[in-house]
Amino acid sequence: MIELTINNKKVTASENEMLLSVIRREGFHVPTLCHVEGLTPTGACRLCVVEIEGIRGLVPSCAYPVRNGMVVQTHSNRLIEARKTIIELLLGTHPDDCLYCTRRDTCELLGLAEELGVRERRYKKQPQIPKIDVSSPALMRDPAKCILCGRCVRVCEEIQGVGAIDFIGRGSNCVVGTAFNEGLNISSCVNCGQCITACPTGALVEQKHIKRVLQALNDPSKTVTVQHAPAVSVTLGEMFNLPSGTDVQGIMISALREIGFDQVFDTSFSADLTIMEEASELVHRIQNSGKLPMMTSCSPAWVKFVETFYPQFLPNLSTCKSPMQMLGAVTKTWWAQKNNIPRENIYNVAVMPCTAKKFEATRPEMGDLTPDIDAVLTTRELYELIRMKGIRMTELVPQFNDNPFGQRSTAGKLFGATGGVMEAAVRTAYWLITGKNLETPVIPEVRDLAGVKEAHIEIDGLKIGVAVASGLANARKILDDIALGRSDIQFVEIMSCPGGCIGGGGQPYGTDLDAVRSRMQSLYKIDRDETVRFSHENESIKNLYTEFLGKPLGHESHRLLHTDYYKRTVMK
């Protein structure tokens, strides 16, 4: 340990620790725009500069290691003026459309302007002729609002391993864009939305579906259903100032009914349905020398990642549709028939923590003439809709989901966290092979926020190796190992976003690791405290197979609940 002084306070730090981390740990606030926690610092934005006694210039604290005896000032007049000038220069090229910007309440640039007292324009406004990219079904990109912080570039390349965007041009002509500055729709973008959560302004946002949902709700000919993903109920409360991880499912259901949805369903129900199909598929492949390792297919950004970068592994992907798409399919077939509603009069809305679900809903494989899912709202969009309708969340009386798609096991709820699909599938695979339930259904090796997790499980003398990854750069590690000949893994779960759906690209802005961890622990608590912990014990699932689907991997279930994927060609 070494000693240094920050703002006249004696502190200790580890050798070679970066100064910014020490400053923040000691409770001092130093602004940043380019910094991404956990990645190698670049020192590009210069907002985190500090003064160090004995050094003439200003030093970027994010990229400067501590030294013994160092004396640091973080808020001298000189530093405040330097930071203020940076913000004023950025505002000199930034649009003045804050009244209409999606990020007006969470814009970091606007927040820094307020913090540093920017009240007038000191630099002449530079004309901008932006070409807004709306080509993607999931994301929108507005280059005029980009401040070149580079956070989206680094997250896309270093955390997601996709590299769909990068810096183009030099000097004042530099922009962030795709290859050849073409649309996102023909780039290698997988629609995960992690760039949106990284962006400090409104340069990257999701494609909004609120307007189309309101139009459907106002159409008397439409029966409008809504389903909510497992991660949403343990996240939405944060946007209403509740502690991270608070499960607000009951009052969220009430809010959805207040908005005007005719039926409220739980995607955790169809997560159980996915497990019945996926676990059966895994057992079938193992027992019949099928293609192994089998890989999950419920994360649409991950599926597109395989289609784009690793097409040799397409036969390894489970043919199961995602829970969202399965529920859309059975709603517009079995449920429609039971309630004597024409398919074309049903409008299915999904509330998801994921922007890639907007892309998935548009895939031609996901519907019979008309889409199974008509609109997808992110968690953020649901919050906007609740506010728009003037609903007071804290005054609502908790309600229950509508049956038959409202009953779930805790295994289905675990889908919201990395490792949850694996754990749920292993529970049912064990039952399919042995006819008995696991005495201890928790698999601790696949729990927690580690980017890559592995376990070896024995089921009735059969040894199964499993691997779990969240964040697509971590997925590359597993895929590359398998490509090099690794053969001790039979089942692989990949979640596109770090931490899984609880850290998805449609979750609240400013999500940090502590919030993601709290959401995960909330899901684990639900699994611990409730009684139905196995997908195959969900009575509504049993009834669905008895009345309609027949059996897992049967003709009808294969027609409605399974699909195929294909190799994609992108501009390079």
205 membership: H or E segment, kind and range? strand 204-206
Question: What are the residues whose beta carbons fall under 8 Å from the beta carbon of 353, sequence distance 6 or more?
Answer: 229, 231, 232, 235, 378, 379, 416, 501, 502, 504, 505, 506, 507
- Is 313 in the same domain as 381? yes
Distance, CA of 441 to CA of 461 (rounded, Å): 18
Omega of the bond leading into 404 within 30 degrees of 0 (cis): yes
In this prediction, residue 123 carries a pLDDT of: 86
DSSP character for 556?
H
- Is 253 in the same domain as 163? no
Catalytic one among 34, 107, 192, 501?
A: 501
Closest CA to 60 of 37, 83, 26, 89: 83
114 membership: H or E segment, kind and range? helix 108-115
Catalytic one among 108, 206, 277, 360?
A: 360
In this prediction, residue 35 carries a pLDDT of: 95
In this prediction, residue 127 carries a pLDDT of: 67
17: left (phi over 0), alpha (psi -120 to 50) or beta: beta
User: Dihedral of the CA atoms 28, 34, 38, 42 (nearest 10)?
Assistant: -110
- Is 340 in the same domain as 390? yes
Q: What interhelical angle do 249-259 and 379-388 show, nearest 10?
A: 60
Distance, CA of 143 to CA of 350 (rounded, Å): 29
- Is 55 in the same domain as 186? no
Domain that holds residue 431: 211-561
In this prediction, residue 570 carries a pLDDT of: 66
Catalytic one among 298, 320, 354, 497?
A: 298
The HSE-up count of residue 195 (CA atoms within 13 Å, CB side) is: 35
| φ, ψ of residue 224 in degrees (nearest 5) | -100, 115
Closest CA to 468 of 486, 485, 456: 456
Identify whether the C-beta of residue 217 lies closer than 8 Å to the C-beta of residue 336. Answer: no
Q: Is residue 551 part of a domain?
A: yes
- Is 200 in the same domain as 215? no
Rg, Å, the chain Cα set = 25
Q: Is residue 83 part of a domain?
A: no
Total H helices, total E strands in the chain: 19, 19
Which two tokens mark 179? Answer: 């290859």
Question: What are the residues whose beta carbons fall under 8 Å from the beta carbon of 510, sequence distance 6 or more?
Answer: 106
Residue 208 is among the residues annotated as catalytic for this protein: no
Distance, CA of 568 to CA of 305 (rounded, Å): 9
Distance, CA of 18 to CA of 395 (rounded, Å): 46
Catalytic one among 145, 304, 321, 357?
A: 357
Which two tokens mark 156? Answer: 């896309």
Q: Is residue 569 part of a domain?
A: no
Where residue 146 sits, what CATH number does that domain have? Answer: 3.30.70.20
Where residue 225 sits, what CATH number does that domain have? Answer: 3.40.50.1780
- Is 15 in the same domain as 156? no
- The count of domains in the chain is 3
In this prediction, residue 442 carries a pLDDT of: 95
| Bridge partners of residue 467, in order along the sequence | 454, 492
Catalytic one among 15, 53, 81, 365?
A: 365
Q: Is residue 568 part of a domain?
A: no
Catalytic one among 318, 322, 496, 518?
A: 318
Torsion sign, CA atoms 304, 271, 379, 468? negative
Identify whether the C-beta of residue 147 lies closer than 8 Å to the C-beta of residue 175. Answer: no
Place of tokens 């592995």: 454
> Distance from CA of residue 387 to its chain's centroid?
22
- Is 189 in the same domain as 295? no
Distance, CA of 165 to CA of 177 (rounded, Å): 5
Give every strand in the sheet of 294-295, ordered side by side: 294-295, 491-495, 462-470, 452-459
- Is 243 in the same domain as 186? no
Q: Is residue 570 part of a domain?
A: no
- Is 351 in the same domain as 435? yes
Distance, CA of 410 to CA of 486 (rounded, Å): 32
| φ, ψ of residue 225 in degrees (nearest 5) | -105, 155
- Is 526 in the same domain as 456? yes
Distance, CA of 307 to CA of 287 (rounded, Å): 27
Distance, CA of 251 to CA of 253 (rounded, Å): 5
Beta strands in 419-560 (DSSP E): 452-459, 462-470, 491-495
Domain endpoint, select from 181, 206, 231: 206
Catalytic one among 51, 238, 281, 307?
A: 281
Beta strands in 36-118 (DSSP E): 49-52, 59-60, 71-73
DSSP character for 118?
-
Which two tokens mark 276? Answer: 């019945």
Domain endpoint, select from 155, 177, 206: 206
| φ, ψ of residue 147 in degrees (nearest 5) | -110, 15
In this prediction, residue 571 carries a pLDDT of: 56
Q: Is residue 366 part of a domain?
A: yes
Catalytic one among 277, 278, 307, 423?
A: 278
Q: Is residue 385 part of a domain?
A: yes
3-state SS, one letter per residue, for 333-402: HHHHHHCCCCHHHEEEEEEECCCHHHHHHHCCCCEECEECCCEEEEHHHHHHHHHHCCCCHHHCCCCCCC
Residue 501 is among the residues annotated as catalytic for this protein: yes
DSSP string of 260-298, one letter each residue = T-SEEEEHHHHHHHHHHHHHHHHHHHHHTT-SSSEE---
- Is 509 in the same domain as 426? yes
Domain endpoint, select from 49, 75, 101: 75
DSSP character for 158?
I
In this prediction, residue 569 carries a pLDDT of: 79
Which two tokens mark 378? Answer: 């992110």
Distance, CA of 543 to CA of 522 (rounded, Å): 29
Q: Is residue 428 part of a domain?
A: yes
Residue 318 is among the residues annotated as catalytic for this protein: yes
Residue 365 is among the residues annotated as catalytic for this protein: yes
- Is 489 in the same domain as 385? yes
Residue type, 372: D
In this prediction, residue 455 carries a pLDDT of: 95
**pLDDT by residue for the chain (572 residues), tens digit each?**
899 999 999 999 998 899 999 999 999 999 999 999 999 999 999 999 999 999 999 999 999 999 999 999 999 999 999 999 999 999 988 998 899 999 999 999 999 999 999 998 888 877 666 789 999 999 999 999 999 999 999 999 999 999 999 999 988 889 999 998 899 999 999 999 999 999 999 999 999 999 999 999 999 999 999 999 999 999 999 999 999 999 999 999 999 999 999 999 999 999 999 999 999 999 999 999 999 999 999 999 999 999 999 999 999 999 999 999 999 999 999 999 999 999 999 999 999 999 999 999 999 999 878 899 999 999 999 999 999 999 999 899 999 999 999 999 999 999 999 999 999 999 999 999 999 999 999 999 999 999 999 999 999 889 999 999 999 999 999 999 999 999 999 999 999 999 999 999 999 998 899 999 999 999 999 999 999 999 999 999 999 999 999 999 999 999 999 999 999 976 55
